[in-house]
A and B are shown apart, each in its own frame.
Chain A
Amino acid sequence: MPVVKSLRAIGHKGVNAVWRTGYAARFLLLTLLYSGTSFRRFHLTVREIFSSGVMSLIIIVVAGMFVGMVLGLQGYETLKRYGSESALGSLVALSLVRELGPVLAALLFASRAGSAMTAEIGLMKATEQLSAMEMMAVNPIARVVAPRFWAGVISMPLLSALFSAMGVFGGFVVGVVLIGVDEGSFWSQMQSAVDFQHDILNGVIKSVVFGVAVTAISLFEGYDAPPTAEGVSGATTRTVVQSSLAILILDFILTAFMFRGD
């Protein structure tokens, strides 16, 4: 009976999805529970900050610079029509600090560092390194997973701040140095438009949330990957897709709470 068969397939998928969600939640909880080691032996976390944060620096800095430059160009072209080129500074800074900085930095981080985390842990599992650790009474979540998690959570806001700062600099280079918008009004309009609590702090909160989401998804996908070459490659793809979607959806939710109304 094809109807029963398709119903059964739907049921199977549903049960699987619920099971995976629960497993992921349990995994995240265990990571938080066993994260004492990553602070007591902080060099484990430092090593991971190096491989996820420091190695993402170049892509973040270059991307931030160019995004800021494009914002400068496009913003100038649009604002020129209304004769308010002097508002270029506030346009560039607000869009970077509120949205583009946290979101684009998180997307780049997911594809640069998140995929690497998934592949690394997936391969560790496939080559039974994680089981070997368990045999030696070393908790793989405390030794391998938690330091990577905290490294991601620490790196993400720093990367996003760097992205925004580089973007503002890029906007400054294009707007003031190349096009010739008045420098004084560029900075003063920016300062009067950008509020520390409302804009910058909310941007930092966003990037911390994205950091938690991206690293949690990457680590879980790696830990849960089928121990085959195909399984690891599939998990890496899922990491990038799911964390990108998670970033954009979370961004909408956070924006709706932070910037609604006034």
Chain B
Amino acid sequence: MERTTLDLWVGMFVVAGIAALVVLALKVGNLSTYNVSDTYQLQAYFSNIGGLKPQASIKSAGVLVGRVTAITLDTSRYEAKVVMSVDKRYQFPKDTFANILTSGLLGEQYIGLMPGGDEKMLANGEELKKTQSAVMLEDLIGKFIYNKAESSGPAK
């Protein structure tokens, strides 16, 4: 085969392959919603994080505003320290409430931010003071069964 035709075919092949990668990155993957550069770090302490994992989403009013970057156990207070990176476009008041919520009954856990009324905004590296731990389904069921047993009175 002639060299120019060969080059043409190989060029088409390489362009098609790279195009497929770009399609995968933008259409299939989350690169289009991915901007690592413009974030600021916040941290929060939870007494129980349940099934929260790194890379879990952080939502406010249902809108994705950031991701959990690291989860460690702080041994000075024996609570879970969750570091999150939040998009710079979204600023939150100092008294913002951080809850660990579950999407759906058995869905993934995420952090929900409920803004308070403070005038001052949270800056990079600051801590969210007001937190609420994950709701453990097992605990709830346990409490429910215990309550039932209480209300039905002593066994005959």
Interface residues of B in 23-38 (CB under 8 A from A): 23-25, 27-34
- In the complex, are the beta carbons of B20 and A161 less than 8 A apart? yes
**Chain B: minimal CB distance from A203 (Å):** 8
- In the complex, are the beta carbons of B10 and A46 less than 8 A apart? yes
**Chain A: minimal CB distance from B7 (Å):** 6
The answer, yes or no, to whether B116 is at the interface (CB within 8 Å) is no
Can you name the residue of chain A whose Cβ is closest to the Cβ of B36?
A197
**Chain A: minimal CB distance from B48 (Å):** 19
Q: Tell me whether A165 and B30 are in contact in the complex, defined as CB-CB below 8 angstroms, given that A46-B10, A53-B10, A54-B13 are known contacts.
A: no
Give the secondary structure class of B's interface. Answer: helix
- In the complex, are the beta carbons of B10 and A54 less than 8 A apart? yes
- In the complex, are the beta carbons of B29 and A200 less than 8 A apart? yes
**Chain A: minimal CB distance from B138 (Å):** 22
- In the complex, are the beta carbons of A97 and B14 less than 8 A apart? no
Chain B positions 106 through 137: 1 when the CB is less than 8 Å from some CB of chain A, otherwise 0: 00000000000000000000000000000000
Instruction: Pick from B9, B20, B54, B55 the residue with the most CB of A within 10 Å.
Output: B20
- In the complex, are the beta carbons of A50 and B31 less than 8 A apart? no
- A-B contacts counted at CB < 8 A amount to 88
The answer, yes or no, to whether A168 is at the interface (CB within 8 Å) is yes
Give the secondary structure class of A's interface. Answer: helix
- In the complex, are the beta carbons of A195 and B30 less than 8 A apart? yes
| Bound CA span A97–B27, Å | 13
The bracket for how many chain A residues form the interface is 20 to 34
The answer, yes or no, to whether A93 is at the interface (CB within 8 Å) is yes
Which of A110-118, A184-192, A210-218, A237-245 has 4 or more CB atoms under 8 Å from chain B? A184-192
- In the complex, are the beta carbons of A97 and B6 less than 8 A apart? no
Note all chain A residues with C-beta closer than 8 A to B13: 49-50, 53-54, 57, 155, 158
Note all chain B residues with C-beta closer than 8 A to A46: 6-7, 10
Note all chain A residues with C-beta closer than 8 A to B55: 195, 198, 262
The answer, yes or no, to whether B17 is at the interface (CB within 8 Å) is yes
- In the complex, are the beta carbons of A196 and B30 less than 8 A apart? yes
Q: Tell me whether A162 and B28 are in contact in the complex, defined as CB-CB below 8 angstroms, given that A46-B7, A204-B21 are known contacts.
A: no
Chain A positions 150 through 169: 1 when the CB is less than 8 Å from some CB of chain B, otherwise 0: 00001101110110111010
The answer, yes or no, to whether A43 is at the interface (CB within 8 Å) is yes
- In the complex, are the beta carbons of A262 and B17 less than 8 A apart? no
Note all chain A residues with C-beta closer than 8 A to B16: 57, 158, 162
- In the complex, are the beta carbons of B17 and A158 less than 8 A apart? yes
The answer, yes or no, to whether A47 is at the interface (CB within 8 Å) is yes
- In the complex, are the beta carbons of A47 and B6 less than 8 A apart? yes
Can you name the residue of chain B whose Cβ is closest to the Cβ of A190?
B28
Instruction: Pick from A54, A57, A192 the residue with the most CB of B within 10 Å.
Output: A54
Q: Tell me whether A162 and B7 are in contact in the complex, defined as CB-CB below 8 angstroms, given that A168-B28, A196-B29 are known contacts.
A: no
Note all chain B residues with C-beta closer than 8 A to A49: 10, 13-14
A-B contact pairs, 14 of them (CB 8 A): A50-B6, A54-B9, A54-B13, A57-B16, A97-B29, A164-B24, A165-B20, A168-B27, A191-B27, A191-B28, A192-B30, A200-B21, A200-B29, A262-B55
